[in-house]
Amino acid sequence: MNVDMQGITFAESKVYELVTDADALTVDSKIIIVAKDYDYALSTTQNGNNRGQAAVTKVDNKIENPGDGVQVLTVGEGYAEGTLSFSTGQQYLFAPGGGNYLRSTTTLNDNASWTVTIADGVATIKANRSAKNWMRYNSTSSIFSCYDSGQKDIVIYKLQGSGTVKENYLEVSTNAIEKSYDETTASFTVNSDLEWTVSSEDAIV
């Protein structure tokens, strides 16, 4: 039996992998935000003051082909230096304050700028404001929103192969250089994608 395969197209599988290092969140990364201990992700449903949830299936720290109800976000630079933005394509997620709110806006501002740290896979995502800025999962109300404390941990999954690759970069820590007691040695942190030759003078100023 012969089968004519002409005209048949196959959908490309999209695999999202758990992010364990915030440095992996570069410009144009495609991500989904997921409750750590629950099989729910932030959904495309924008309620008045929060986001709904959509079911996902986690397998070996990966989520394959999340459903249409799952909100895929594009990472960008935030309004404030050193922060990130999360775009739905038309709007940005933001924490307006005044309550435990997570809304969407067309304006990229401080409230739509987020700092992200990740430890043991858990993502701490906080808007660039002083209160009710911590994105969390509320398992009781089945929503994602922003709080001062409490609620449930969230994690980030990133689409494999997405995001801008930094080329030929050299990053030196902004922390103060620590000298030893006799002030003959000093240490600092350097991150780079190339091999660099390092030299130093005998005297440290």
Mean pLDDT value across residues 144-161: 96
**Distance separating alpha carbons of residues 20 and 61, to the nearest angstrom:** 10
Q: Kindly tell me if the per-residue pLDDT of 101 is higher than 60.
A: yes
| 203: confidence class by pLDDT, cuts 50, 70, 90 | very low
Burial of residue 54 (number of CB atoms within 10 Å: 0-12, 13-18, 19+): buried
Residue with tokens 């630079």: 77
Structure tokens at 124: 């701490």
Instruction: Name the amino acid, one letter, at 95.
Output: A
Model's pTM, two decimal places? 0.75
Per residue in 172-186, pLDDT (tens digit) is 554 555 555 556 566
Mean pLDDT of the chain: 85
Per residue in 17-50, pLDDT (tens digit) is 999 999 999 999 999 999 999 999 999 999 999 9
Alpha helices (H) in 31-185, listed in sequence order: none
Residue with tokens 């100023």: 205
Q: Return the bridge partners of 170, or none.
A: 192
Per residue in 122-149, pLDDT (tens digit) is 999 999 987 999 999 999 999 999 999 9
Burial of residue 87 (number of CB atoms within 10 Å: 0-12, 13-18, 19+): middle
pLDDT of amino acid 164 = 78
